Chain A
Amino acid sequence: MQKINKNAVLALLTLSSLVFLLFQLYYYRSYLAHKNGAVFSKVRGSQSGQDSTRWHVVRKFLSLISSHNIPVYLIDPLILGLVDKDIEQIRSSSDGPSPECKYFCVPRDFTTFALLDKTWKHEVGLFRTAEKMGFQWLKVLNKDPRLDGMDDLSGTEIPLHYIFKLASHAIHLVVFYERSGNYLWHGPLRLKQHMDRKFVPFRKLHFGRYPGAYEKPELLLVSIDDLKIQIPKNPSSFLEEMTHSRFLECRYREARAFFQLYPDDASVDAVEFRKRAKSLLHLAALTLNNLGVKFWLSSGTCLGWYRQCNVIPYSKDVDLGIFIRDYKADIIPAFQKAGLPLKHKFGKVEDSLELSFQGEDDVKLDIFFFYEEDDHIWNGGTQAKSGKKFKYLFPKFTLCWTEFVELKVHVPCETLQYVEANYGPDWKVPVKTWDWKSSPSNVQYNGVWPVDEWDDVIQIY
């Protein structure tokens, strides 16, 4: 009797262990699913049901916004990617019913739409209707960056993102604002403390990690999966734009602090120089953008943006950077055509290229070409009279958009490192006497051009 009991106990324990093991395996599985798969689409069995849910949510959302006359357009990268493959067909197809749900049924957690702020009136009625239709919604507000540069203006906060959730699908509505420089801007998505962090898996949103800058898109009304919808006319270029749309706001607060320490120069000369530098920069941007050459603010102009959100009045020139891989032979003729004659050309495409154009009224436009190495990026300098070469080293950087003197331009995203490389740790202190051969903290002596090449690599007009 006793022996049997002992065996029974043993068996019972073994059994319970097994049960635990199974439970554990099951739990782990569901945990994995949780992590990789959709939070919403847990149900694997009814795949088709899920698919049509997404379509239905999108349809409901579109009817909601059209009932309030709010023009939105699709910017969902996943769907636009699919649409782009069939763009010819979609453009030409008439409104006939489509046989299958090809786009709006693909598995995903969100569908993303864009809304131009100026095209709607912020009616509260929209949200009431949304609630009646069964949507839960979340609004993300933040400060208006267009007033950020201003001395102590406090507007009401502006809506940057809306999320409408219905059943297992959510609509992410990104609000775009027009800003000085003729571009569209959307804000970052930042949750305030009281907000529901689990409303949707915010991490998976395609927009909102950073603010972004976009060109104003041309729109096209198409019918996809029996839904009439506006999309960017050229989805592939929109998707391309999206990959490097990150926007940096100027550091207005720091700039104000800087001007507290070093009051701004409001003399007639300074005002005049700023005006000229601004128009030169606008002209240069226009010319390079027409050529499709990507450029960024470099040297003193970049420092001016980063430190004081303005042109440094005693800087005498405008400096731009271009990656040598983006070099085009048309650059020089294009500038000449724009009324900016070549002043000098140092180096050659293979090494240390630098162009300088003469703007109006003694303002010079310097274009430095940057060469990428494995662990750094550099540009070159040449002393005309001695043929000496210099090299300026920078840590690797990527490009971000920003707004400067009413222009949407690139700056290095890692601006601080870039500025510090160039101007050293004391970049915050204005220096009026600057020697380009010795002042920069990242300058290196780089030999001398061979004399027989001088005619080619040192051209002064």
Chain B
Amino acid sequence: MEEWKPNAVLKPHKKRSWYLAWKYKLMNQRALRKLCQTGAVLFLLVTVIVNIKLILDTRRAAYEEEEESAQDYDDELLNVEVPRHPVSNKKVLDVEVYSSRSKVYVAVDGTTVLEDEAREQGRGIHVIVLNQATGHVMAKRVFDTYSPHEDEAMVLFLNMVARGRILIFTIKDEGSFHLKDTAKNVLKSLGSQVAPFLSWRDMWTFVGKKGGEVYGEKHAKSPALSTWGDPVLLKTEVHLTSVEDAECHWPDTELNRRRRRFCSKVEGYGSVCSCKDPTPIEFNPDPLKDNRVFDVPVAVIAGNRPNYLYRMLRSLLSAQGVNPRMIMVFIDGYYEEPMDVVELFGLSGIQHTPISIKNARVSQHYKASLTATFNLFPDAKFAVVLEEDLDISVDFFSFLSQSIYLLEEDESLYCISAWNDQGYEHTAEDPSLLYRVETMPGLGWVLRKSLYKDELEPKWPTPEKLWDWDMWMRMPEQRKGRECIIPDISRSYHFGIVGLNMNGYFHEAYFKKHKFNTVPNVQLKNVESLRKDAYETEIHRLLGEAEVLDHSKDPCEDSFVPDTEGKVYVMFIKMEQEADFTTWTQLAKCLHIWDLDVRGNHKGLWRLFRKKNHFLVVGVPASPYSSKKPSSVVPIYMEPPAKEEGAVAVPAVAAAEQT
């Protein structure tokens, strides 16, 4: 660059004489002149090239600089973009459905969406719902119509499925034994020719559109009672509709966007996806005055029972004083559908990689959920713990708001629970009444952070221990003599029928008849008297005014308690030492309350209602309240039945509970 400057400053006009002289001189030396000229031209050309190159260089440098500037902020993790499946424009789905004694499968466009060849499982009618526009699986259910009542559940489900959806049916093993006419008619109305005549051990497959055409049906009759029909394989084609046709035309709001997302993915939630009149997904219950639990986090412990979760969250979000911001749903496993339910309601959900098996898995899930809850809400002193198979009473938060200060102030308390183990339709009466009990009922309860952080978390059962978390929490090492506060009428209702420790029979016997409060804004009675010492005074007062029942009568008989209302009665049973519950268990059995283990006791005293009278049971002589027994009264002793009888049902489900 420097070198061509002399050229640039060359000013031919001023020094003309010198220039001319030089010029003529040069003209004389032609060769030299030519050389110089060529040299100059070449030199200039080089300069031009160098310049261009320089420009390009600066430009690139500037560009790199910019690139680099954002580099510090790059995510270190390589976020490999998941290649999206190309949206297939195919309008036709190939569907294959297989039905046989030991195996069923359904394949859509070559992808297996259902395969069940497990032994002793999956008996009955398998139903799959496909989205008529996308072909995605929206619901998968199996109804064991060999057993009673399952056909009713199937009818309920089929009625909830939106019109236009594609339904696929296949039978595994046996599906007709308890398939009643109502259910058969529903199947017939879907277009099935065979359903009305389905019989013992027939094989059957059917594909149709709800409220529309039939795509195929195959059936194989069982030749004899002892044998099954031949396996059937149905291959058919389903024509897809456009997305617009498959969706409802709800107004475009944030809520409806959530609804649309949900309804295009899953099926079987009924009116929430109804086009005409969808049920609300926002509830806005009345706020509570002086809500002391507004900032208390609510941990909802869930597994893969999305329909339960849906029902549970609906009731929770409808409870007065609920604060949706504080609700955290913890899902055990990477299940999509429960997460869809959580998102439908606009709540936060967290998924948990399953650790360990069976009870230990539940236990680890509880631990992770509780720890996460206190991490996410570091200010919280308490957490409300709920499970996915509970209905929540409308005054659940009101109940807690009125009582939670006790948990803060009274060191002798272990928890507040919304559940009264002994609170059945016929044994609970007063929504404003609270008890202190030595057992931990769970099923909707409040945990103190200090209890969890200082005591429970550090020694929580490790994954290899197959313990029930609730049983562990009830152990004396953990409970240390502390008590829980419970209401007379439960503020939660356990509706779960399927579960780890749960089955239909068990539910019917022990949970179905449980009383559940539906009255809003119940003003609790005398919460102060629930403190440790005040409660003793209260009990003594109660026993003082209680009328001693006639101990010569049979306590199981209805006539044992007079036909009065609002009175207090007491009876004394035999209880040799603190752990002697022989008579109590027999009494519980004949009263049809919880008898699988001892629940709801306080120092050898049980409190319940009979015929709208407060009914106290005191264990003599173990209970400190035995002194209240008139000397003339002989405590009732009830003998346990002979071993074989008692051992039939109980051990199978003994102490099983919740979850």
Contacts and interface: CB of A to CB of B under 8 A. Distances in A.
Contact of B352 (A18, A124, A152, A208): A152
A34 B78 CA distance: 30
B8 interface: yes
A450 B384 CA distance: 63
Interface stretch (A23-31, A48-56, A321-329, A386-394): A23-31
Nearest to B43: A13
A361 B308 CA distance: 49
B135 interface: no
Contact of B462 (A18, A24, A146, A266): A266
B245 interface: no
B73 A202 contact: yes
Nearest to B51: A20
Nearest to A20: B51
Specify the main secondary structure of chain B where it touches its partner. Answer: helix
B225 to A, nearest CB: 51
A149 interface: yes
Interface string A2-20: 0000100110011011101
Contact of A6 (B37, B48, B62, B72): B37
B76 A190 contact: yes
Interface in B45-81: 45, 47-48, 51-52, 54-55, 58-59, 62, 65-67, 69-70, 72-76, 78-79, 81
Contact of B73 (A24, A151, A208): A208
A207 to B, nearest CB: 11
Contacts of A181: 378
A147 B350 contact: yes
A328 to B, nearest CB: 30
A154 B351 contact: yes
Contacts of B606: none
A150 B365 CA distance: 11
A35 B62 contact: yes
A274 B67 CA distance: 48
B284 interface: no
A9 B254 contact: no
A198 interface: yes
Nearest to A182: B378
A191 B75 contact: yes
Contact of B350 (A9, A34, A155, A208): A155
Nearest to A13: B44
Interface size class of B (residues with CB under 8 A): 35 or more
B81 A194 contact: yes
A209 B74 CA distance: 10
Q: Most A CB atoms within 10 A — which of B40, B350, B364, B376?
A: B376
Contact of B54 (A24, A151, A406): A24
A146 B454 contact: no
B371 interface: yes
Contacts of B15: none
A147 B350 CA distance: 9
B459 A202 contact: no
Contact of B74 (A151, A191, A268): A191
A308 to B, nearest CB: 14
A198 B70 contact: yes
B353 interface: yes
B17 interface: no
A406 B377 CA distance: 12
Interface in B454-480: 454, 458-459, 462
A190 B368 CA distance: 28
A151 B66 contact: no
A268 B368 CA distance: 21
A169 to B, nearest CB: 18
B7 interface: yes
A192 B79 contact: yes
Interface of B: 1, 4, 7-8, 37, 40-41, 44-45, 47-48, 51-52, 54-55, 58-59, 62, 65-67, 69-70, 72-76, 78-79, 81, 254, 257, 325, 330, 334, 348-353, 355, 364, 368, 371-372, 374-376, 378-379, 453-454, 458-459, 462
Interface of A: 6, 9-10, 13-14, 16-18, 20-21, 23-24, 27-28, 31, 34-35, 118, 121, 123-125, 142, 144, 146-147, 149-156, 178-182, 189-194, 197-198, 201-203, 208-209, 266, 268, 271, 274-275, 406
24 contacts: A13-B45, A17-B8, A17-B44, A20-B47, A20-B48, A27-B55, A31-B58, A124-B254, A147-B375, A150-B368, A150-B375, A152-B352, A153-B353, A153-B372, A180-B378, A182-B378, A191-B73, A191-B74, A192-B79, A194-B79, A201-B69, A203-B70, A266-B462, A274-B458
Given A125-B254, A202-B72, 6 more contacts: A17-B4, A31-B58, A147-B375, A153-B368, A155-B350, A194-B81
